[in-house]
Amino acid sequence: MSWHLIYTKSRYEKAVAEKLTTLGVEVYCPLLRTRKQWSDRWKWVEEPLFRSYCFVEEPAEKDKVLAVPGVVRYIYYCGRPAVIRNNEMQSLQDLLSRYTHESIESGILNAKDKIIIRSGALSDKEAEVVHTTGHRATLYLEDMGLKVTVDLRKNLVEKVG
């Protein structure tokens, strides 16, 4: 069995996924739980990781998928529907389920703070905070001689000491 990629209307990803599930179509719409600020409060919301896209397992009736409100079309590559192999899909699902980004908040980071990066390509590396701006922090990794900027909403960091 293989997977296909469908393009949805903007902000219809979750509704499309729910409707396809009720129709018995296997669908995957990875969600990222993020913290958003309203004018009077902070709130946790789930947003699609891939905006305007959902993955569907190869259905017997493609017309049934296209009939769902919010589905625009299948994504094509070289004139054929784009195919994602099962092992590639499993790898994606495993990667996305490995870390729960909403479970750790970095708190306030100040210049000269020592941290450990807990997710991503630089996982388990120690760094020093150079400066922060909003949700971004510029870090210096002394052992690599590298200065990087990370998005604190998408990377887990932990203060040392």
Domain locations along the chain: 3-98, 114-159
Q: Does residue 38 sit in helix, strand or coil?
A: coil
pLDDT digits (tens, 9 = 90+) for 5-47: 999 999 999 999 999 999 999 999 988 877 888 889 999 888 8
Half-sphere exposure of 143 (CA within 13 A, CB side): 6
What span, in angstroms and rounded, lies between the C-alpha atoms of 44 and 34?
6
Indicate the pTM of the whole model.
0.62
Q: Burial letters for 54-79: b for 16+ Cβ neighbours within 10 Å, e otherwise?
A: bbbbebeeeeebeebebbeebeeeee
- Domain 3-98, CATH among 3.30.420.40, 3.30.70.940, 3.90.700.10, 3.50.50.60: 3.30.70.940
State pLDDT tens for residues 112-149.
889 988 887 788 889 999 988 877 889 998 877 888 88
Kindly tell me if the per-residue pLDDT of 101 is higher than 60. Answer: no
Sign of CA dihedral 95, 101, 104, 106: positive
**pLDDT range class, residue 97, cuts 50, 70, 90:** confident
Q: Are 53 and 84 in contact (CB under 8 A)?
A: no
What letter represents residue 3's amino acid? W
Place 106 in a pLDDT band, splitting at 50, 70 and 90: very low
Which pLDDT value is given to residue 107? 57
Question: Is 116 in contact with 124 (CB distance < 8 Å)?
Answer: yes
> What is the per-residue pLDDT for 105?
44
Quick one: three-class SS letters along 108-158?
A: CCCCCCEEEECCCCCCCEEEEEEEEECCEEEEEECCCCEEEEEECCCCCEE
The listed range with the strongest mean pLDDT (2-16, 48-62, 98-112) is 2-16
Which residue, chain included where needed, has tokens 């919301």?
A: 45
- Whether 104 shows a pLDDT value over 70: the answer reads no
Residue-wise pLDDT for 54-94, tens only, equals 999 986 678 999 999 999 999 998 899 899 989 888 888 88
